[in-house]
């Protein structure tokens, strides 16, 4: 059995770690590229959103590398993501790709439901082993998120253009390399050292922008045209409302690990504006915007793939949030389009806008 999975940002590092730790053979698909998107758009229905198209491309590219089993998350609720795994599998079957499909539905009641699914893949390994494997994957997710947060802080302050991007790739490779939890501790140190060796301007004033929205477009840099990097280069320190480790804790571990920012807290913040589950991460989008405004961020950017219903609901509420709390909000809808000029114009103008607002506020203070 050679297992593959769709890409979603740096998720592959943690999934690969978990599966390999449990002795499962893994085929990591080539990272999302123009080729992935071309394959996906060719075979997916036109009205599906971009995540489905990229998933499909990932699977097709992995098949060429010998993968025969797909693990994919499922879901329920108003977002149609829940049936993506099945419809992608049907499309692949029509194209004569022979895959086994294992869908990890989010546990309804208890974490044990998730463990049972994992056992399907890992066969006769002991429960103890399986739990250790999951823990190892989770540790990697946390490590990756930590390094990524560092890169967000460093990039707007870097002295040599592009040095953060290079160091970040090296640091990720360092984390990916660790084979055991013991090794990982050393490699995390190593990765942090790489990041701290970047030359930065300590006193440079930077703007702070929070990025909120649909999880896939937030986590997968190919789908959002590297928005975090583009903003960093414009001198903006970014933060993301969802990190992979937090999502795993919320949705797969059912909030088992405390002391992490979690969905309940975020949704509570959304209450005055949105008091109902709208599917996907619509509630979190509103809640995070409120929280960013409380933390003194200069602006918020909402990201969503074209036709994403939960985010469209959130989008129509955001102007009210923006008006009430006085925080600038911009919505960007991503799709197959890859022209960077349009995106850059909007980002530049948004950065100009929040810089002016900040100046005005400081002048008044």
Partner 1 sequence: MKGYLGVDVGSVSTNIVFIDEQGDVKETIYLRTCGQPIVTVQKGLKELAQRLPENTVVRGVGTTGSGRHLAGVVIGADTIKNEITTHAVAASYLVPGVQTILEIGGQDSKIIILRNNVVSDFAMNTVCAAGTGSFLDQQASRLNIAIEDFGPISLKAKAPVRIAGRCAVFAESDMIHKQQMGCALPDILAGLCEALVRNYLNNVGKGKEILEPVVFQGGVAANVGMKKAFEDAIGVSVQIPPYFNVMGAVGAAVLAKDAVKKSVPTRFKGFAVADINYHASSFECSGCANCCEVVEINENEETIARWGDRCGKWSNALAKKEKIS
Binding site for partner 1 (CB under 8 A): 30-31, 33-36, 159-162, 165, 226, 306, 319, 328, 330-333, 335, 341-342, 344-346, 348-349, 352-353, 356-357, 360
Query: 211-239 as b/e, with b when 16 or more CB fall inside 10 Å?
Result: bbbbbbbbbbbbbbbebbbbbbbbebbbb
How near is the Cβ of 201 to partner 1 at its closest, in Å? 11
- For every residue of 315-356, DSSP letters joined together read HHHHHHHHHHHT-EEEEEEE-S---HHHHHHHHHHHHHHHHH
CB 92 to partner 1: min, Å: 20
Q: What tokens appear for 276 in the block? A: 């109902």
The least CB distance from residue 79 to partner 1, in Å, is 19
Which CB sits closer to partner 1, 73 or 194? 194
DSSP 109: S
CA dihedral 146, 150, 152, 157 (to 10 degrees): 180
Q: How far is CA 115 from the centre of its chain?
A: 23
Nearer residue to partner 1 within complex by CB, 203 or 341: 341
CB 328 within 8 A of CB 322: yes
The CB-of-213 to partner 1 minimum distance in angstroms stands at: 13
Smaller CB separation from partner 1, 43 or 251: 43
CB of 96 to partner 1, least distance (A): 23
Q: Which is nearer to partner 1, 96 or 161 (CB)?
A: 161
Is residue 213 within 8 A of residue 302, CB to CB? The reply is yes
User: Using CA atoms, how far apart are residues 362 and 365, in angstroms rounded to an integer?
Assistant: 5
> Which residue's CB is nearer to partner 1, number 90 or number 201?
201
What is d(CA 339, CA 359) in angstroms, rounded to the nearest whole number? 31
CB of 346 to partner 1, least distance (A): 6
Q: What is the distance between the alpha carbons of residues 145 and 186, in angstroms, rounded to a whole number?
A: 17
Q: Name the minimum Å distance from CB 18 to partner 1.
A: 25
Complex with partner 1: residue 180 or 345, whichever CB lies closer: 345
**What span, in angstroms and rounded, lies between the C-alpha atoms of 142 and 135?**
10
Beta carbon nearer to partner 1, 170 or 360: 360
């Amino acid at each position: 059995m050679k297992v593959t999975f769709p890409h979603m940002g740096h998720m592959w590092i943690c999934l690969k770690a978990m599966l390999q730790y449990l002795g499962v053979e893994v085929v990591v698909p080539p990272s999302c590229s123009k080729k992935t998107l071309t394959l996906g758009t060719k075979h997916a229905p036109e009205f599906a959103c971009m995540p489905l198209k990229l998933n499909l491309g990932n699977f097709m590219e992995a098949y060429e590398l010998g993968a025969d089993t797909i693990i994919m998350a499922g879901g329920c609720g108003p977002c149609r993501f829940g049936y993506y795994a099945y419809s992608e599998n049907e499309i692949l079957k029509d194209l004569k790709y022979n895959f086994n499909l294992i869908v990890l539905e989010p546990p309804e009641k208890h974490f044990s439901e998730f463990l049972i699914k994992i056992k399907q893949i890992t066969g006769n390994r002991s429960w103890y082993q399986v739990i250790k494997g999951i823990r190892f994957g989770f540790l990697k997710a946390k490590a990756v998120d930590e390094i990524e947060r560092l890169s967000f802080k460093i990039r707007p302050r870097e002295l040599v253009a592009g040095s953060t991007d290079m160091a970040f790739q090296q640091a990720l490779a360092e984390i990916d390399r660790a084979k055991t939890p013991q090794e990982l501790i050393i490699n995390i140190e190593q990765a942090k050292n790489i990041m701290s060796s970047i030359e930065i301007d300590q006193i440079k004033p930077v703007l702070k922008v929070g990025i909120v929205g649909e999880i896939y477009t937030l986590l997968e840099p190919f789908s959002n045209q590297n928005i975090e990097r583009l903003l960093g280069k414009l001198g903006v320190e970014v933060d993301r409302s969802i990190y992979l480790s937090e999502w795993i804790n919320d949705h797969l571990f059912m909030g088992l690990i405390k002391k992490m920012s979690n969905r309940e807290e975020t949704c509570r913040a959304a209450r005055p504006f949105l008091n109902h589950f709208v599917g996907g991460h619509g509630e979190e989008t509103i809640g995070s915007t409120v929280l960013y405004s409380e933390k003194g961020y200069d602006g918020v950017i909402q990201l969503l793939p074209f036709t994403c219903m939960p985010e469209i609901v959130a989008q129509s509420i955001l102007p009210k949030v923006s008006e009430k709390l006085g925080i600038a909000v911009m919505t960007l809808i991503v799709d197959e389009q890859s022209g960077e000029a349009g995106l850059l114009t909007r980002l530049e103008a948004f950065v100009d806008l929040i810089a002016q607002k900040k100046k005005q506020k400081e002048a008044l203070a």
